[in-house]
Chain A
């Protein structure tokens, strides 16, 4: 055997990463410190412009809030679904996992346009509610945050469910029986045993859904329209419409930093609760 050190085997990948990931990132940071869109005059003008404008804070806030709302919705729908999955007989589990993974098998564009059909003025949701007499005129769902959160919830659901199911199916089924035998009701068992023990999966799911929904440019623009402005749309406008690359770079770095902040806070929480799984 050659005396090739093991770390040397990672070199090709490391070089590829440096070339296609790290270098552009450094260039992005560099570009942000130019005052003009021709990238000729170094300075902090673009940073001052972005952070001097109250509108920027609103966009950052809206983007983070969109992530938080989507995370909450995926938990509310996904957690019961994970419980149903675990209790289901094996044949049904196979069907369920197929349905759960399905959104990942479709292109983002197709999924998003499907939601336009579902949520539109003449869409399935409005037709149903109208015919049931629950509403008298069509609801506005497209180009609203509610419609966007609904569609993102479906689109991001696999990212919540897969880690959740993988952690929960490793839990000892006897724990539930032990809890019942000790006199605990189903709800007590859920909140004192199952939820705490599934924390690592829940945190991982939140992390993925948050990172993915805050940066979901296509869904945000196609369903939210141009009136709902989130950071990805701002970046697109500045870089490809206005061609102000330094400003776009500032917005990109802001998006990266805000998402990373939330994600690292979440993963810190995850590490704190992670030790219980293999008790």
Chain B
């Protein structure tokens, strides 16, 4: 056993899981780099937890492979995979002390005596719980329990670390602290980590790459920034962040550029995705901060009916409605704007990069 586990690659290849007739995971392929943190993000029932349980060896797949450092692990039972997992409810052994919990995996591997004590002390120090060795789990707070679960999973020096909604049970402030702590530990140990979550902020802040899952499939696997700025499917677009959707029609196509006539009454020239044809109905997705208000009409702006304006921290959120009945949210930095009420035209902000999706009518 090496003292510092180096990051391993994890490859999931065309993985399929069936529960009866239903496909829980449907042909998922992910190539994860050594030392990378990947978040599996999606609504409940999208197959992200099932995927995690297959990697851990608790669930058998119907098809496909899982490889660690190139070697398949599909034939190994869970107790021979050397994959660490932290559960949402931590699953600490309630009848064992903190030290016994952390030592459990070491004993299971046949380690005895002073070696165990040294390893337990090392990892309890790492999670800053050195003084809590003799406590029982129920005598600890939620955050402390989670750190014990983390120390327990890390003490056996696993090749991969799996985190199943580990922050969901913590309150807001503690959650941020723990996210930072987990990230710090993961960096120090260089451990390849998979995080399952339904919280997009958590995925954004902790993960190097995010796999957005829906109905058993990976819709997009990319960096947080790319997923936010360039969502590849309508689902990803709707699931990540807030967005405005505007209906329109392709008026003309010119190479990579489409001229789109919005139903709201403006004509925009935008980079076109492949597979669009002239006259096709499209949907324009644009983030609230990529819209701007103006008091001057123009061909590239459209008339809106202003609703409430709400201050939200350093920003101001405007509600509005287009002439064709779509509701909009527009976010601006908060500043005194003398002619605010007169700004009844909406347009794309200067650096906006909206996305076009084909629309079925």
Contact = CB atoms under 8 A, between A and B. Distances in A.
Given A174-B87, A177-B85, A279-B136, A182 B95 contact: no
Contacts of B77: 180
B138 A279 contact: yes
B84 A179 contact: no
A279 B108 contact: no
Given A182-B152, A184-B104, A279-B138, A177 B80 contact: no
Interface string B63-86: 000000000000001111111110
Contacts, number: 77
A276 B95 contact: yes
Given A183-B156, A276-B95, A178 B108 contact: no
Given A175-B91, A177-B85, A276-B94, A183 B109 contact: yes
B85 A183 contact: no
Main secondary structure of the interface of A (DSSP, over half): helix
B58 interface: yes
Interface in A165-221: 172, 174-175, 177-185, 188, 192-193, 196-197
B47 interface: no
A237 to B, nearest CB: 47
Contact of B80 (A183, A196, A276): A183
A197 B95 contact: yes
A116 B238 CA distance: 71
Interface string A245-273: 00000000000000000000000000001
B354 interface: no
Given A177-B78, A181-B79, A193 B85 contact: no
B108 A184 contact: yes
A57 to B, nearest CB: 39
B56 A181 contact: yes
Contacts of A101: none
B92 interface: yes
A179 B156 CA distance: 12
Interface of A: 172, 174-175, 177-185, 188, 192-193, 196-197, 273, 276-279
The 4 nearest A-B residue pairs measured at CB: A279-B94, A182-B105, A174-B91, A276-B95
24 contacts: A174-B89, A174-B91, A177-B53, A177-B91, A178-B87, A178-B152, A180-B58, A181-B56, A181-B79, A182-B104, A182-B153, A183-B79, A183-B105, A183-B108, A183-B156, A185-B79, A188-B108, A197-B95, A273-B95, A276-B95, A277-B94, A278-B94, A279-B92, A279-B94
Interface of B: 53, 56-58, 77-85, 87, 89, 91-95, 104-105, 108-109, 136-138, 152-153, 156
